[in-house]
Structure 1
Amino acid sequence: MKKNNVKLGKVYAVKVSGSVVPVRLDRENPHGGWDGTNVKTKKSVRIKSAQRLRGLWPKKTMPIVEEPITPAEAQAIHHADQENARLDEERRHAPDGQTASERAMATSAPKSKKRRKAAKEAIGESGRDTGEPGATGAKKERNSLLNLAAKVLAESGEPMNCQQMVEKVLATGLWQTEGKTPAATLASAILREITKKGEAARFRKVDRGKFVAAQ
């Protein structure tokens, strides 16, 4: 769903830990997304993006057909949700509303500002490579775990599991985390991209827990 179509107070179908459940959106979360309530269990649910919403919860005559999911995939999603809940809890108890890693990134921002300035001078303000006049600069991707994993997977040219991809990404120095289960978080993100984008996804599952870069 698109964010501008989402309305507070409505009940939406949301996939939580491998199951599609009815969740009422109660309020916007200050860190993005929404805070809601599982209508069946009455438990609080954090919805980080509109992509997790599968539309309004239907009537009994319009049941949702769940996508098949393996136990390993369900466990990966469960671990990722647990990690997100832990980070949310850390933010709630922090005076500045940030996790330790977010605070460290904010502290290092002045240093990275000089590096960004040097990068701008290297590619030019228009996004063109100043060494090749007229060359068109491609839109830069954010250095997220998912984007960097897609890059290292494509460069490896062979199947990799999520733990191997995380180790390669950490070795680049472009992404760091204090999370306890980054591999599970990555697995969840990859599966969501495959489900959402289908043939346009950057990953292909080839074996139990292993992926290759899409051609």
Structure 2
Amino acid sequence: MKKDQVQIGGTYVAKISGRLATVQIDAESRFGGWDATNVSTHRKVRIKSAQRLRRDAATLASTEAPVVADLPPQDIDERIAVAPPSIVPYEQRRAHAEAADDDGPRYDPSRCATKRCRGTPVMTYLERPLCQACWERHCREEQSSEVSENACLPAGTADDACRPTGEPEAPEQENEMSKKMSTKKQSTKKQTKAPPVAAKAKAEKKAAAPKAKATTDQKPKRVSALDAAAVVLKKAGKPMRAQELIAAMAEQNLWTSPGGKTPHATLYAAMMREEREKKGEARFKKVDRGQFAFNG
């Protein structure tokens, strides 16, 4: 709106806090704009410019016609008549469904009444058209339910329910049944006795297997380089260097290097470590630079 269109005391539609509301202009504000009152909340607000006012609320109320609630017709025929052509089939389906709720479900005689079945009906059972496969399945379900009910009855009544009254049991049938039961018992006894024997044999084999492995896996313990050096020094009775000890151990078949590049350096460090740690109990004693004698 424009500034010359705003009147003191008029009501207008303005946007306040992001929402459209009806305000009444009270007076011009000394800071510019107008002082107004929110009609719905009765709070004081300030309209900074005429652009905040959208339209005159009084003229809008006079031009708008009263809205009457347009309720949909309740009758099915009226709904079908009022509905557009695009949704007429949906209205017809609803009409059929409501009619079926009153009179019970209605089935198409040319289709099987079972859900998701496309078979051709061959008979009608309880006003339901059924195909041959559905009828056979229904009969099997009824027979299984009868068997479960007979299983809950006391002994001697389940067979009487399925047999005509006054018909005695044949003695031949009793003898055959007793023979079958006796053979079943014997077979079960044999099956139960066999597993313990097999288990014992397996246990004996397992117990014997570790002993055989223990005897075959026993190998002579390999002599270490330090032990071999102590044996060589004890036999020699004189000080020797590390390289001489390596050669003497190989000649006497006591110990050979597994492929190391400096076995004499490794042996020298091991003899020094034993002398330093064990002191008087060490087997080696350094007597000169690079020479060791047997300490014993």
The two structures share one fold, judged by TM-score above 0.5: no
Q: TM-score, normalised by structure 2?
A: 0.25
Q: TM-score, normalised by structure 1?
A: 0.34
Structure with the higher fraction of residues in helix conformation: 2
Rg bigger for which structure?
2
Relative contact order (alpha carbons < 8 A, sep ≥ 6): 1 or 2 greater?
A: 1
